[in-house]
Structure formats: C-alpha cells, structure tokens
C-alpha cells in the first residue's frame, strides 16, 4: 500500500505527513487494519524498540471541580458516584505512589481536580514530589493541576517535577461544544507555561466525543506543533451521570486507526495508550502496543482499570518488555536536547525536528484566561463513574472479555467506579 510505505518513510525521517495522508489512515478499511498496525509498528520500533513505559496515577484530590468539561466525572454538576476527598497528605501520596513503583512504573502522575492550584496547594504538591523522590530514586514525577499562576511552574520544577500534563483533548473548532468554562487557547497557553518553566510537556487527546476525522487530525497536528514529549491518547469512557453518557461510538478497529495516525504524525514522541483502552480496545489491547510505547498501570483516577498483573502479563505475552527506571524513554535526539536545556535553564525545552515550532518548541497561542483544572483526559480526571454497581475489575474475566459492543451501543458493564486504593482502606491495583 503506497500510503503506508510513504508514512513509514516519513516517520523514520521524523517528517510530518500531509493532512490528506493522516485522514487517509483513519479512512482505511478493517481489511487493511493489520497492515496499518504493522506500518505504525515499524515507526514505533525505530524510535522506541519494544520497550513499554509504565505510568502510575495518584489522585491527590478527587471530585468537586468547578469546571464543566462534558467528559469528566468530577465536573460541575456531575451525578457520577465517584470517590470524593480533599488533598492527600504528602506521606499518603508517597505511599500510594510506592505501590505503582513496586509494580514497575517509572513515572508517577500526580493529579488534582479543580481549575488550578493556590500557592498553598503548590506547597503541598511540592512536598509530595520531594517525598516521592526521596523514597524512589530515579522515578519521574508528572504534575497535572490545571492553570498555574506566575511562578508556580518554576516552584514545581524546583521541587523536582519532571513533567506537566495538560491535554488539548479535541480540536479548536469543536472545543466550545465540550467545555464552556475555559477555552482551547487556555489549554495551549498552559502547556506553554509548563514548557517555559523547564518541565517536559505532556499533552494529548480524547477520542470518541462525537468528533469527526478532521477534528482528530486537527488536534494531533496541533499537538505536533506544541511539541510535547508525551502524547496520551484517551478513549472516552461515557459514564452515566455525565453529559456524554450516550456517546458510545468507538470500536477496537477505530481506536487502532486513531493510535496509528497519532504515531505517524508524532513518530518520535512517547505515545501513551491511556484511559478507556480496556473499555474500547478490549481483547485487541496487545495490538495497540505495536503502536503505543507507554501505558498507565492499573487503575485511573475515578475508574478501575485492568488488573496490574494483567497489564504486565499482556506486555510479556505480546513480546514487549517493561522499560527500566534507568532507561531513557525518548530517542537520543530528543533526550540530548532535553538534557542540554536542563543544564542551561533548569528544565527541558523544544526538540529539534520534533514539531517545527517556535521558541521552546511550543506552538503559538495568545495568553488567555484561566485554564481548566487538573482534569485533562478521559483517562485522567475524565474517568467518570456509573450510578449502578458494576463488576469490580475492568478487563477481568467478567468484563474485559465481554461481547463486542456495536457502535452506539451502551455498555456500562464494561466500566467500574474506583473503590480501592487512594481515598479508601483497600490496597491499590498496581
């Protein structure tokens, strides 16, 4: 297939595909699906080999967010019956992080619901970062706290934060239909602030919110321009109690095509298989590892994920290996630039050839009004809950192998509210 050969060649050269080529990937048929996966796999292996990076989420503050993001269980007016609690103490958060590290995670993601942190909140998180770093040598810490006021990003970086997550989620054209309490430009500006402070930028998308192919290509091209080091690809979990509860449009095949398109557009970036993989990819999750080189281990923020031991077994059975704490995730040309920038500015900046963008490697957007809270993704704050009891383990024998859901069919039996780990007396899933 000439299209796929062209995309592989461009990916190996870190060359941006055309919009038409990206759209063509999403338009391929199911008969061509394995060819698409194989082509994206060639690009993935060029830059990341057969390594899989494990990331672990710690929900520092759950629920009661004033923002109205339609996909999020923690949004203003959400009826999802999720766990709700205020800030964890640094020792509690460090203990929660240790469970993920013991399971093989090399990055801990600290997330808090809300529009953005106060200075006191930044102090709390800084102490938490310091506690995690003291207990776990070589572990990366990523913060996801929403809008950062002047000086807050620098304080987080000084405390040891390696990265900052703030997802674009969807295209600029459709953003207003998803959220009204902040704008797309606000999110872009937040990523720029994190980058400018010297933190590695992490920014991704949510697929399955009613967008079309052009919207998906738009947001991935915007991410390429922003030049983050990691791009989480989330698949909407449309839980009861949120405005998008009826948006069940994704199929496993559609998810694989979206991942492949993302890999072709962002060939040398950490593409993370994030929230919703258990719900929408189901038994095809191992195929997604041929494209993505990073996953979240165990549970998400407000919903349960596949059992941690099942994640590790899936990686091994598919012929991949867990990336060690001492290994560099990024290819040398990106890692070297990040290291050089850290030495000169205290953090990482843009990456030559990564996005073809402006200063510090980020794309342009005017400074704007306050951005959204730490919510950022279907797999992060957007893992809403269902109001009815459901099986405890997504991806377990009871749920993960359930029958295929037809496009548009509501399958709330495939999701579960998180009732273990952080904020409970039960051990975490890691």
Does residue 142 have an active-site annotation?
yes
> Residues 14, 51, 75, 109: which is the catalytic one?
109
Does residue 357 have an active-site annotation?
no
Distance of CA 165 to the CA centre of its chain: 8
Distance CA 304, CA 390 (A): 11
Beta bridge partners of 294: 53, 272
Residues 6+ apart with CB under 8 A from 317: 286
Taken as a whole, the chain contains a residue count of 430
> Residues 14, 44, 51, 142: which is the catalytic one?
142
Does residue 375 have an active-site annotation?
no
Does residue 272 have an active-site annotation?
yes
Does residue 72 have an active-site annotation?
yes
> Residues 44, 65, 124, 381: which is the catalytic one?
65
> Residues 14, 224, 263, 272: which is the catalytic one?
272
Relative to beta strand 230-235, strand 140-144 is unpaired
Distance CA 125, CA 87 (A): 9
Does residue 266 have an active-site annotation?
no
> Residues 14, 51, 72, 144: which is the catalytic one?
72
What is the CA angle 275-335-300, rounded to 5? 15
> Residues 51, 69, 144, 254: which is the catalytic one?
69
What separation in angstroms does the CA of 206 have from each of 94, 153, 209, 325, 327? 28, 25, 7, 28, 28
Q: Give me 236's structure tokens.
A: 């909407």
* 302 φ/ψ angles, rounded to the nearest 5 degrees: -120, 0
> Residues 202, 266, 360, 381: which is the catalytic one?
202
Does residue 224 have an active-site annotation?
no
Q: Residues with catalytic annotation?
A: 65, 69, 72, 109, 142, 202, 272
């Amino acid at each position: 297939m000439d299209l796929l050969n062209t995309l592989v060649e461009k990916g190996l050269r870190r060359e941006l595909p055309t919009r038409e080529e990206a759209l063509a990937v999403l338009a391929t048929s199911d008969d061509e699906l394995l060819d698409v996966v194989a082509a994206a796999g060639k690009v993935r292996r060029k830059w990341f080999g057969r390594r899989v990076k494990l990331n672990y989420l710690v929900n520092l503050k759950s629920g009661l967010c004033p923002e109205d993001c339609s996909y999020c269980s923690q949004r203003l007016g959400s009826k999802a019956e999720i766990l709700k609690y205020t800030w964890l103490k640094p020792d509690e958060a460090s203990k929660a992080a240790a469970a993920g590290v013991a399971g093989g995670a090399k990055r801990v993601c600290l997330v808090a619901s809300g529009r953005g942190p106060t200075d006191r909140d930044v102090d709390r998180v800084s102490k938490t970062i310091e506690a995690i770093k003291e207990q776990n040598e070589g572990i990366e810490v990523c913060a996801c706290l929403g809008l950062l006021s002047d000086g807050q990003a620098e304080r987080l970086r000084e405390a040891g934060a390696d990265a900052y997550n703030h997802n674009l989620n969807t295209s600029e054209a459709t953003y207003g239909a998803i959220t009204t309490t902040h704008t797309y430009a606000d999110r872009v500006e937040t990523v720029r602030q994190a980058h400018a402070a010297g933190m590695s930028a992490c920014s991704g998308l949510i697929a399955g919110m009613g967008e079309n192919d052009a919207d998906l290509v738009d947001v991935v091209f915007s991410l390429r321009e922003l030049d983050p080091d990691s791009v989480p690809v989330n698949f909407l979990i449309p839980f009861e109690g949120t405005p998008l509860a009826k948006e069940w449009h994704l199929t496993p095949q559609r998810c694989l095509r979206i991942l492949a398109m993302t890999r072709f557009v962002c060939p040398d970036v950490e593409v993370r298989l994030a929230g919703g993989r258990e719900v929408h990819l189901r038994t095809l999750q191992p195929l997604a590892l041929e494209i993505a080189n990073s996953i979240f281990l165990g549970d998400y923020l407000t919903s349960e994920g596949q059992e941690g031991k099942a994640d590790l077994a899936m990686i091994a059975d598919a012929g991949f290996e867990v990336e060690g704490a001492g290994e560099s995730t990024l290819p040398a040309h990106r890692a070297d630039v990040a290291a050089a920038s850290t030495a000169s500015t205290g953090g990482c900046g843009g990456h030559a050839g990564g996005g073809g963008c402006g200063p510090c490697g980020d794309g342009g957007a005017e400074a704007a009004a306050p951005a959204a809270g730490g919510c950022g993704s279907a797999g992060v704050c957007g893992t809403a809950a269902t109001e009815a009891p459901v099986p405890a383990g997504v991806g377990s024998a009871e749920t993960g192998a359930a029958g295929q859901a037809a496009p548009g069919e509501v399958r709330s039996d495939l999701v579960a509210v998180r009732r273990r780990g952080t904020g409970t007396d039960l051990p975490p899933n890691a």
